[in-house]
């Protein structure tokens, strides 16, 4: 129930942010739209820890800046590869083990890998991530383990 109210609040906040009209007509439209959307979602039974991950918000606030920093570093690295005259690419497909317990955790880990240039998650079966890397030796390092550990910590005690 709590989760449903939060979802409604988030959706209505989004509506206000995007419309920014405070006439009654638009407020009523927004209220009605959000209510219908939340009711449909609730009836489909998809309002759960996965679709409204409130438990991630606090720890996520720490994870996101770290991820942005990682993205920045790997962007510079890939830019260096592309701009170097010799174009030192050594692509290969490597496998990582995801130690997250929930699907949502694995989803975050796989997407974080894809968001950092130089590595793209091409497939995931259970806890085995198939990752395409543009330079092989750079992904053998501890960086991906670090990310894995951080996402596992992010999802907390799990569902």
Q: Which residues of the chain form contacts with another protein (CB under 8 A)?
A: 14, 17-18, 20, 71-72, 75, 78-79, 82-83, 87, 89-95, 110-111, 114-123, 132, 134, 136
Q: How far is the CB of 120 from another protein (least distance, A)?
A: 5
CB of residue 96 to another protein, shortest distance in Å: 13
Quote the least distance from Cβ 102 to another protein, whole Å.
18
d(CA 100, CA 47): 21
Question: CB–CB of 55/49 below 8 Å?
Answer: yes
Instruction: For another protein, give the closer residue by CB, 123 or 158.
Output: 123
Counting beta carbons within 10 angstroms of the beta carbon of residue 37, is it exposed (0 to 12), middle (13 to 18) or buried (19 or more)?
A: middle
**In the complex with another protein, which residue's Cβ is closer, 33 or 92?**
92
Residue number, 39 or 92, with CB nearest to another protein = 92
Q: Which of 1/91 has CB closer to another protein?
A: 91
Least distance CB 88 / another protein (angstroms):
10
Nearer to another protein, 39 or 68 (CB): 68
- For residue 105, how far is the Cα from the chain centroid? 9
Least spacing, CB of residue 1 vs another protein, in Å: 26
Distance of CA 40 to CAs 1, 37, 55, Å? Answer: 14, 5, 23
Q: What angle do CA 121, 78, 120 make, to 5 degrees?
A: 5
Query: How many Å apart are CA 13 and CA 49, to the nearest integer?
Result: 20
């Amino acid at each position: 129930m709590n989760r449903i109210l939060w979802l409604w609040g988030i959706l209505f906040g989004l509506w206000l942010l995007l419309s920014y009209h405070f006439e009654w007509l638009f407020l009523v439209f927004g209220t009605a739209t959000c209510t219908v959307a939340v009711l449909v979602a609730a009836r489909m039974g998809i309002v759960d820890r996965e679709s409204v991950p409130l438990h991630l918000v606090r720890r996520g606030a720490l994870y996101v800046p770290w991820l942005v920093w990682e993205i920045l570093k790997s962007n510079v690295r890939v830019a260096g590869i592309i701009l170097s005259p010799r174009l030192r690419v050594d692509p290969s497909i490597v496998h990582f083990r995801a130690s997250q317990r929930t699907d949502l955790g694995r989803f975050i880990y796989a997407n974080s890998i894809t968001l950092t240039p130089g590595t793209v998650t091409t497939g995931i079966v259970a806890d085995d991530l198939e990752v395409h890397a543009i330079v092989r030796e750079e992904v053998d390092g501890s960086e991906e383990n670090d990310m894995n550990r951080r996402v596992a910590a992010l999802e907390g005690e799990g569902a």
